[in-house]
Each structure stands twice: as structure tokens, then as C-alpha cells.
Amino acid sequence: MTIDAGRWAELYRLEFPRVYRALLAVLRDRDRALDALHDAFVAGLRRPPAHDADLAGWLFVVAVRSARRGVRLPSFSLERVRGRSGEGDIDALLDRMEVGRLLAGLTERQRAMVVAQFYLGLDHREIAAHFGVKTGTVSATLAQAKARMRAEVRNAS
């Protein structure tokens, strides 16, 4: 069934919290996460996914790709100079979390796949389809990521 604009907005609103948080965990930057998700929303308006199953995975991957395309221009902010940046808060928050510490040692691509699996609940086949890679690549990437996370757990204990 084709998703029209109204339905798309409704689905986006439903999925936003989960996908935004997943992006925060991967990108560790509020502005990048929000911009990337907005881009994914606009991409969905232009060419919606074929069906509304697993929409979170679709939004997540389109947003991750969008975040990689260019680098957001920094803008001068007195608060940043004074060290009261919102981004700092997210970094600090993630650093205090077990998840943040586990993800910190991974590459952005590994983080994206780990978050897709453990937070968004996608299986290897779904992750492969969304990221446009082979299932074996997903398995290998996740195996490396888990090995790193295990090492992190060992070091912490």
C-alpha cells in the first residue's frame, strides 16, 4: 500500500522518538541527529518506502546516510565558548551511560549496526537490506563490534 503524505507524517511522528534516540547514540550530536532525521522525513515525502513495515529501520538508515554526506557548518555560539553547549550535555550523558561507554569505542558504522540490532530490533537480514550490504558483512561488522564491547566490559570490571 502506498504511503501518502498524511500517513507519512503520522508514521514519522510515531517513530521519531525511537529513531532520534538511536541517532543520538550513533552520532552523539543533537543537531546532527535532528537534521539527519529531518532529511529522512523529506526523503520519505519525496519517495516514501514501499510499505510501512519496519519504518524505524528505514528512517534510521536514511538519516545515518544523510548525516555522513556533509559536515554541518559550525556556528559561533557564546554558550559553546563558555562550555554550556547542548552537545556537551549529550556527550556527558552518554558517557555516564553503560550504553554510551560500550558504543564509544566503536566506529560510526559499527555503532549504527549495533544500535539497529539492539535498540531498533532489526535482524541481520534487515540491517543488510537497509544498509545495502551483504548479510555476511553485517555479521562480520557486528562480531567485531561485540568483541570490542566485550573488551570494554572486561576492562571496566
Partner 1 sequence: MLPELSIERVFRRELDDLPLPPESSWVPARATVRRPVSLTAIVIAATLVLVLGAVSLVREAPDAAATGRRVTTTPLLVIPRPTCLRGGCNVYRSDAFGYGISIPGDWRVQDSSRLGFGRSDPSLLDRVEFTSRTPEEWQLLVGVRLDLIAPWDVSVEVHDRNGFAAMDWARSDGCGRNACVVGETTLSQSPAYVASWPVTSSLRMHAYYIERGDRMLILRYVTEPGSEGPHGVTEQTLEQIVGSIALN
- Interface residues toward partner 1, by CB under 8 A: 5-6, 8-9, 12-13, 16-17, 20-22, 24-25, 30, 34-35, 37-39, 41-42, 45-46, 66-78, 80-81, 85, 87-88, 90-91, 93, 97-100, 107-109, 115, 118-119, 121, 146, 149-150, 153
How far apart are CB 100 and partner 1 at their closest, in Å?
A: 8
Q: Which residue is associated with the grid cell 501518502?
A: 4
Q: Residue 17 or residue 136: which is nearer to partner 1 going by CB?
A: 17
3-state DSSP assignment of residue 26:
helix
By C-alpha distance, which of 40, 62, 58 is closest to 49? Answer: 58
Shortest Å, Cβ 53 to partner 1: 20
All residues at 6 or more sequence positions from 86 whose CB lies less than 8 Å from its CB, including other chains: 30
User: Whole-angstrom Cα distance, residue 2 to residue 45?
Assistant: 12
